[in-house]
Amino acid sequence: MKASIVFAPTGYMDCAPLGIGYINSAIQNCGHTTEIHDLNIDLFHNNPRDYQELISFALDKKKHDFNDRIPVGMPNLNVLLSTLFPGRANRPRVIERMWKLAEKYSKSILLKNPDILLFSLHESNEYLSIILSKIIREEEKIPIVFGGWTCNYDLYKELFLKLGLCDIIVQGEGEKAIVELLDYYCGKKKIGLIPQISYFKEGKVIQNKPGPLINIDQISFPDWNGSDLAQYELVPIMGSRGCPYSCSFCNNLYINFRQRNIEGVIEEIKTQKEKLKKKAIFSFDDTSINIDIKWLNGLCDALIGENLDIVWDACARTQNLTPEILKKMKRSGCRTLRFGVESFNQRILEDMNKKITVAEMVKTLEATHQSGIECRIGMVYGYPGESETEFIRNLKILRRLNYCFKEGMEACLGIHYLDMNSPMGMHPEEYGITYEPQKIIGPKLPEKIETMASRCIKYRLATPDKRSLQFRKNMVDCFQSSCTLGIFREKNPREILNFEIVHENEKRVYSI
């Protein structure tokens, strides 16, 4: 069979899509042919204005208007429906442009005569993906499979299947399931035996049983054949899958944590470096590179011993990183570590189940900076129960840390979103949240869907309330206004030490 893999624009041009590479490799290794349609690269380089407009529209779902008590971090049903039914949209010009782009891309995709279409859906590319699917479905009777992060939400899995936008949805690890799906369409496999897939049959969504976790040492190296990998700044690489922790806000949960053999990681780096014919920058896709410090030590030793001359970055937890291991990481090519700090308040960290102390975090950040590795940190505000005092304290500590670091550091502050696949979303009563999930009725009833779209989830929470969330957003905007794009690299110590924010409604002044 010939499979066309479609990757619509996501807004992220720094790193190649790792999942696409693994799926492409798995299909080719089983004797099938593939064609990658990386629309992310195509639109970015050929029509950057449309690219920016499309991504801005896609991210509108993230713009919280504070009519609710706490924002829900899922694709917006109203936005999804407005892309499928343009007459209902609030931004017809953008929707119209999306349809024209989809019509153009659908022709180029169908020109390759695929036997099956595979779409990878993520938080900002699902809109163009479903328009493409709808147009292609009307033109040709080609099997369409959806996979990717968005498909992990049961509400949207049900929506996509009942609206007939796809035939199959794959949830979780897809390398094995995709190959077995191709066997099914070749008449070699029964659909009921394929793990991790869902499909619509006789008016019902059928969910097959989950399969065993994949041995990540046995899957082939990712292959982006047909996509210009050199157009991306970073080459993604996987050292592990899953996470042994269960932070309350996080949806990256696997049954268990698995790491690759270091020899396989080194061999993959050599392979990708040879393909690129240039000095590559590798980005580890792991949730945390330092979960197993012994493994990390071994990786650094191997990178240094092989003299690969690469640069790499990774996400990490703010613990277990001694000055010695950080110096070794620097020698092996590590240039940047991204830390999910979330908060500098111990009570909030405990509510998040971070299993870490503020003292550990500050010590790790200081040691990382002293080793010459760049620090990038992510923090959230508006976490359930966070007080204004705790919020202000976060800004103060962040400001002081940045002042102490000679080169400054990069930090991103974002509002907390309730993710329905996180422990908080799955057990909301433990966090003082209640919501009423609603099911989609009927296979193709957009009118009924539209009436419930804006309130598919309801919840109540004592704090932070609407006023407090808006206040915190205003303060973060103020805090970032003296910097560029949220990058805190202050040069004026007096400005840092005398930073003030005025709350207009309450006439209160906060010195940071």
Residue 433 pLDDT: 73
Say which DSSP state 487 is in: B
pLDDT one-digit tens code per residue, 296-349:
999 999 999 999 889 999 999 999 999 999 999 999 999 999 999 999 999 999
What is the span of the domain harbouring residue 241?
Answer: 234-418+462-511
Q: What is the mean pLDDT of residues 230-234?
A: 83
Same domain flag for 153 and 37: yes
Residue 47 inside a domain? The answer is yes
Among the listed ranges 94-98, 157-161, 364-368, 490-494, which one has the minimum average pLDDT value? 490-494
Same domain flag for 171 and 268: no
pLDDT one-digit tens code per residue, 116-127:
999 999 878 888
Same domain flag for 203 and 239: no
Same domain flag for 245 and 174: no
Residues 6+ apart with CB under 8 A from 352: 247, 248, 249, 342, 343, 383
Report the alpha-carbon distance of residue 1 to residue 196 in Å, rounded.
Answer: 21
Q: What is the mean pLDDT of residues 100-117?
A: 95
Same domain flag for 184 and 242: no
The domain total for the chain is 2
Same domain flag for 279 and 167: no
Report the alpha-carbon distance of residue 425 to residue 417 in Å, rounded.
Answer: 10
Strand partners, 415: 381
Residue 421, pLDDT > 50, answer yes
Residue 31, pLDDT > 70, answer yes
Contact by Cβ (8 Å): 167, 194: no
* Cα radius of gyration rounded to whole Å, the chain: 24
Between 464 and 412, whose confidence is greater? 412
* Residue where one domain finishes, among candidates 188, 207, 226: 207
- 424 — pLDDT class (breaks 50, 70, 90): confident
Report the alpha-carbon distance of residue 95 to residue 79 in Å, rounded.
Answer: 10
Residue 117 inside a domain? The answer is yes
Same domain flag for 97 and 138: yes
pLDDT one-digit tens code per residue, 35-68:
999 999 889 888 888 888 888 777 665 444 434 4
Q: Encoding tokens for residue 244?
A: 């042994």
Confidence (pTM) = 0.85
Residue 6 inside a domain? The answer is yes
Residue 14 pLDDT: 84
Residue 219 inside a domain? The answer is no
Q: What is the mean pLDDT of residues 231-244?
A: 92
Residue 216 inside a domain? The answer is no
Residue 375 inside a domain? The answer is yes
Report the alpha-carbon distance of residue 80 to residue 130 in Å, rounded.
Answer: 8
* Residue where one domain finishes, among candidates 172, 207, 242: 207
pLDDT one-digit tens code per residue, 359-371:
999 999 999 999 9
Between 474 and 238, whose confidence is greater? 238
What burial letters (b/e) apply to 183-210, b meaning 16+ CB within 10 Å?
bbbeeeeebeebbbbbbbeeeebeebee
* Residue where one domain finishes, among candidates 192, 207, 222: 207
Same domain flag for 120 and 77: yes
